[in-house]
A = this chain, B = another copy of it.
Amino acid sequence: MSTIINNIEIIKAKATKINDVDFNNLKFGHVFSDHMLECNFKDGKWAAPKVVPYQAITLDPSSKIFHYGQSVFEGMKAYKDANEDVWLFRPLDNFNRLNISSKRLAIPELPENYFMDGLKTLLEVDKEWVPKNEGSSLYIRPFVFASGNGFHASPADEYKFIICTAPSGAYFSGEVRVLIEETYSRSANGGVGYAKAGGNYAGQFYPTQLAIEKGYQQVIWTDDNTHEYIEEAGAMNIFVRINDTLITGPTSDRILDGITRKSIIELAQAEGIAVEIRKLSVLEVVEAAKNGTLKEMFGAGTAAVISPISGFGYKDTDYDLPKLDDTYANYLKKRITDIQTNKAEDPFGWRYKI
């Protein structure tokens, strides 16, 4: 038996799994809510999405997702405030970016109402799954992948758009030390680096493993031609504070247009912090580390929000960042999460009530 909310059909799970979940000890993205949104592309069009019980996906072995990497995704979070209201953060930006990614991967773009109405309905149905604990949130994973069949390296004729949600704690725990990459690369000029395409992530795993073996947690990618300029950290954009100026690289076809990144830029500018969006060379950062003007580095992304970097490695030398009492990272993280969780005014109109 099904019901309809926001024009979306809902098929409810027979029982809830919520009582099995320890909301005080949530890892990131390991426990999934009772329902998911499912929407299928077939015969040249997207069918209406449905909320269905969280369930396995069955595919032919020749489905193109297994062979040709045709997949894109988004990362979002829902927060619950003191009044039990549920909030999203700039969800239309995720929707628009999903379609930008899809276009580059030759995946059919989604209608806005299928995404937004589907997401709202899913969150209404699984409202109880949005955590209230400080630092926790409901991580939301919209994704689209090629489900059509055939061993021919060409776009699939069928796709699935799914939104799953996972009550989650922090993405990184503790300090993050990063390695500035000199050999491997994340993306090419004219490539898919600006898209949240599955293949962009798999390509980072091996170089990241090598960095982990050397004692770092993340890689900071540099341009593939010279390795002289800082790009992004794969799951995060990178900010560097030299003296009191916050610097981040411009977006490009190699760099993801991060929603946390652009929110930090707007927020910092509104707070009177000097922000420079420009190419940032590794040498400039190393020089600043040596002469004491490098004050902070941090990553910015939906999963980690703002992730302070305690030090970096480059050409077999380690550089430690100073331990400051008042950091931009902590200040901006509090500002942004206060807006996200409805603890502060939202002069930017970023918050979106479910």
A residues contacting B by CB (< 8 A) are 28-30, 32, 36, 54-63, 65-71, 73, 75, 103-106, 139, 141, 143, 145-146, 149-155, 162, 164, 166, 168, 171, 181, 183-192, 197-206, 208-209, 224-225, 227, 234-235
- Bound together, the chains give a CA A190 to CA B166 distance in angstroms of 34
**A225 and B28 in contact, given A162-B61, A201-B68 (Cβ under 8 angstroms):** no
Contact A205 B66 (CB under 8 A): no
Q: CB distance A70 to B184 under 8 Å?
A: no
Residues of B within 8 A of A59 (CB): 56-59
In the docked arrangement, what's the CA distance between A154 and B30, Å? 13
22 CB-based A-B contacts, threshold 8 Å? A29-B62, A30-B150, A57-B58, A66-B143, A66-B145, A69-B69, A69-B198, A69-B201, A69-B203, A75-B151, A103-B206, A104-B206, A105-B206, A146-B202, A152-B171, A153-B234, A183-B190, A185-B188, A185-B191, A189-B225, A190-B227, A192-B202
Using A57-B60, A67-B73, A224-B224 as known contacts, list a sample of 11 further A-B pairs with CB atoms less than 8 Å apart, ordered by residue number in A.
A29-B152, A65-B198, A68-B198, A71-B202, A151-B168, A152-B171, A155-B205, A181-B190, A189-B225, A190-B224, A198-B198
Give the copy number.
2
Specify which chain B residues have a CB less than 8 angstroms from the CB of A164 in the assembled complex.
Answer: 61-62, 151
| Residues of chain B within 8 A of A150, CB atoms compared | 29-30
- Selected from B106, B171, B183, the residue in CB contact (under 8 A) with A206 is B106
